[in-house]
């Protein structure tokens, strides 16, 4: 996998997470930003107060999502922020992992992935007689999927040769991580 393809894959993953939960993408990018060189114009995301704000917003969304008063994610008030936040998070990851070259592609890919998962998440959450569990359980499952997508987009790479999949070995060639790397694998808020 080339560095550009790797960066675009991360952009798509963070966009998908943001489509499900609008605040999770920026929170994940902010939490992991202290361990990566910041590109021009994105270093603000690594500041401590920004990490606190983005994580608080994600936690608030986790709680608020279970309320029927929250706007539909497919309404302009629900979809618009998802697309904007996904574009921003995808742009940051693209710069972080590849440089500024394909940033427009990463931004577009993140927004498209967010739109797709927003629609998929809305379909998943539709009241259904064939689902064997209540909506609150469906919402928590959706939270877990969004967290897994954000972690895959921003998380560490496992070492090649350690029994990981061939795809991870390819990623390791592009983004080597050793156990002594500062914060390897950590998601620090403070």
Q: What is the mean pLDDT of each run of 10 residues along the chain (190 residues)?
A: 83 96 93 67 75 91 81 90 95 77 88 97 80 83 95 70 43 43 44
The H or E element that residue 121 is part of is helix 103-125
Q: Residue 1 has what pLDDT?
A: 67
pLDDT of the residue at 36:
62
Rounded Cα distance, 143 and 131, in Å: 17
- CB-count exposure of residue 74 (10 Å: 0-12, 13-18, 19+): middle
The Cα–Cα gap between 5 and 16 comes to 16
Give the pLDDT of residue 171: 43
Please, are residues 93 and 32 in contact by the beta-carbon 8 Å criterion?
Answer: no
**pLDDT value at residue 42:** 64
pTM for the structure as a whole: 0.77
Taking Cα atoms as reference points, which of 54, 42, 34, 58 lies closest to residue 99?
42
The pLDDT value given to residue 16: 98
Residue 34: predicted pLDDT: 66
Q: So what's the pLDDT on residue 100?
A: 52
């Amino acid at each position: 996998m080339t560095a550009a393809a790797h960066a675009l894959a991360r952009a798509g993953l963070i966009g998908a997470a943001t489509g499900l939960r609008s605040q999770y993408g920026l929170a994940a990018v902010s939490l992991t930003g202290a361990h990566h060189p910041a590109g021009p114009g994105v270093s603000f995301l690594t500041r401590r107060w920004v990490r606190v704000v983005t994580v608080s917003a994600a936690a608030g969304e986790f709680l608020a999502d279970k309320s029927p008063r929250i706007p539909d994610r497919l309404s302009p008030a629900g979809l618009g922020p998802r697309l904007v936040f996904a574009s921003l998070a995808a742009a940051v990851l693209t710069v972080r992992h590849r440089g500024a070259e394909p940033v427009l592609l990463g931004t577009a890919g993140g927004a498209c992935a967010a739109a797709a998962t927003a629609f998929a998440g809305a379909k998943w959450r539709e009241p259904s007689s064939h689902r064997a569990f209540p909506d609150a359980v469906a919402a928590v499952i959706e939270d877990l999927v969004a967290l897994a997508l954000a972690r895959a987009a921003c998380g560490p790479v496992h070492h090649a040769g350690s029994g990981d999949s061939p795809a991870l070995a390819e990623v390791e060639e592009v983004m080597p991580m050793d156990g002594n790397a500062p914060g390897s694998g950590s998601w620090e808020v403070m």
